[in-house]
Amino acid sequence: MRLAPQETRTYLITAVTAQRRRLFQVTSTAELLQRTILDYRGQGKFLLHAFVIMPDHFHALITPAPDVSLEKAVQFIKGGFSFRLKSKLDVWMRSFNESQIMSKEKFTSCVKYIEENPVRRGLVSTPQAHPFSSAAGAPLDRMPLHLLG
């Protein structure tokens, strides 16, 4: 059975700061990005399955709403954050990386990859110890139904 395109719209996304500046090692800036991500999730722009904010990038596992393209979902996050930050400098590299998630196994491995990133980088000893991550208990959405079957 082939799934309709709108049913296969779960992605791992990664966005990196301009010049890989370590913007998010400042707690208030990391909090602002986390709030931005959670605000757009709350507005129904996308489902949020996992995320982590690292010093110079973030990863998120999202499923855009049916009427929102992947590009628009990322624009909400990056553009919404930049607007709120009010920086005179470029905040983000122009593009982002994405990987479409097509199986339950890939979804599960992406959650693990995202939440263990701060441990692999030596920032914390356990995923739950990183405050800017879904592992720390932020509200999340379940695995999409199209991946469960």
Q: How far is Cα 71 from Cα 56, in angstroms, rounded to an integer?
A: 20
At 4, is the pLDDT very low, low, confident or very high (cuts 50, 70, 90)?
Answer: very low
SS3 of residue 58 by DSSP = strand
**Residue 126: half-sphere exposure toward Cβ, Cα within 13 Å:** 4
What range defines the domain where residue 84 resides? 5-148
Q: What is the pLDDT of residues 51-92, one digit of tens each?
A: 999 999 999 999 999 999 999 999 999 999 999 999 988 999
Q: How many domains does the chain have?
A: 1
- Strand order across the 46-53 sheet: 46-53, 57-64, 11-16, 97-100
**Among 74, 41, 39, 40, CA closest to 58:** 74
**Domain holding 134: CATH number?**
3.30.70.1290
